[in-house]
Structure 1
Amino acid sequence: MNDRITPPAEAPRGPVDSSRVPRYAGPATFARLPRVDEVARTEVAVVGVPFDTGVSYRPGARFGGNAIREASRLLRPYNPAQDASPFALAQVADAGDIAVNPFDIDEAVETVQHEAGRLLDSGARLMTLGGDHTIALPLLRAVAERHGPVALLHFDAHLDTWDTYFGAAYTHGTPFRRAVEEGILDTSALSHVGTRGPLYGKQDLTDDAKMGFGIVTAADVMRRGTDEITDQLRQRIGDRPLYVSVDIDVLDPAHAPGTGTPEAGGLTSRELLEILRGLADCHLVSADLVEVAPAYDHAEITAVAASHTAYELTTLMTRRIAAERDAG
């Protein structure tokens, strides 16, 4: 297990001071935070995985991580929605990118699992910037090696529990079926959020339910509201170790045009952020944010939404770290 929190040797180093260095100047680390090699200890590592070989439609998510980093230049150190200064609560640092083979999916999956495990072994929780959704499987493997089977909240327009595409077992549409088969998910605490759109057949829903997933559709969020949905999710999760996986196409194309498989009728960015904020005090151990494809992004709408999504998830993690430290 990797939950022991020791007091930091020194106060966390935060972002570059934007009153001294303009936001558009300097390296584009996430939120203008230090790199991992510039701090003694990293408690939340923001790491990119520039990989999109597993996509079934539009490519380009290999460039998503750096687009999110560029958009994150506008983030500020105090988060009023969560009443927290996340970068003062724990040391957050940018771990750069995991370089993976773009021509061999199996090798790429192994590399992501190994490198994610190395970061987790250092004591960090991961905020991973994809890349396509294929990377969720090796990330979950690495997290489960340290926490056991984890609860999962999966924000996505799609189920991503299909079996194969063109005979390939590892794609952006299959990671959570593989994860259930491998026993690395707590099947009593699995939920999709924001699903919508046509399926291949009703059997897709039947198979998904057999794996243990509950479904909160985008229409459910619209009709019932974010507070009720969040309460439902929290009850399902409890205090189990939680992994959150966000495909940016959970948002409506009006809010996230820069993605590979857009579907009409999605969440607003406000709804997504409000649901995430409602997960405060949950045992969030790591998260990913995937499928940002900047080639299709108009005026960086998608990258901005993604940067704020990563910011809220990072805030949740640092708040949890601080609470565990205070509890001894």
Structure 2
Amino acid sequence: METLANLEAFVRSAELGGFSAAARYIGLTPAAISRNVALLERNLGVRLFHRNTRKLILTEAGERLLLSIRGNLDALQSAMTEASAGQEAPAGTLKVSVPMSFGTRYLLPLLPAFLHRYPDVKIDWQFDSRQVDLIADGFDAAVGGGFELSPGVVSRALAPAHIVAVASPSYLKGKKKLASPEDLGECTGIVMRWGTTGRIRTWTMRNARGDETPAPLKADVILNDPGVMTEAAVQGLGVAMLAMPDVLPHLESGALIRLLPRWYVDAGSISIYYSSRMSLPVKTRVFIDHVVAEFERQRYAERFAGSLG
């Protein structure tokens, strides 16, 4: 029978695309992850990954195994964590950093069920788009994208962070349909200025084939918050490049229309960040499990994927 360590090394390597990323997530060295995967392959008698210098690619056998055990592995780990906690109930203050608009729309609605299940947990949340230092600032967890993994911090991907071009029906009325990202240069642009650098954010779009091209939006309307940019697009002020979570409700309602549906920006992933798994308080572990389970139930990873068009 395979050890849980071997199975987890395989699943996390497949999910995160490499041994180094899996090692940061689990809290081991890349060599240990590679060794565990090699043991699993040897014991099963099949190759699970095609290996090259840039990334890991699942073999057909690896894809079948991943589909079979991924959800079961998470459930087993959660059960083992609860069992090892004995009679200790989640309690104490849960300090979490979340982005303003994303946290309000997608994380705050998860709290009623969480607090009903764990009434001894108190909430101390900071709504802020800046990157925090989890350990120095005393946070139990943070949700967002693009965090640098400092020593002692690991992450778990929740959904892709894809950026798409959108505009309102009123803005698009009477205008010709865009054929390629280059056509964005002819549109009224709603763009974002970074508060830390003062620079206008620019994007490079890609398609499913891997072709890449800049998105040449003009800086006609300059704003400093994605939520405000979204509202400006809804009001018909122009075309904006925005993250799928920000625009999804408006796309589903018809208040916004996605332009160039085969093109998107891959900005990494939306992840939950926390300190080393070996020393996680029970309150933090159950919170992470709750967020992951709810994101899976709501199919946010699929719904936030701009690559799906």
Q: TM-score, normalised to structure 2's length?
A: 0.28
**Greater helix content:** 2
Structure (1/2) with the larger strand percentage: 2
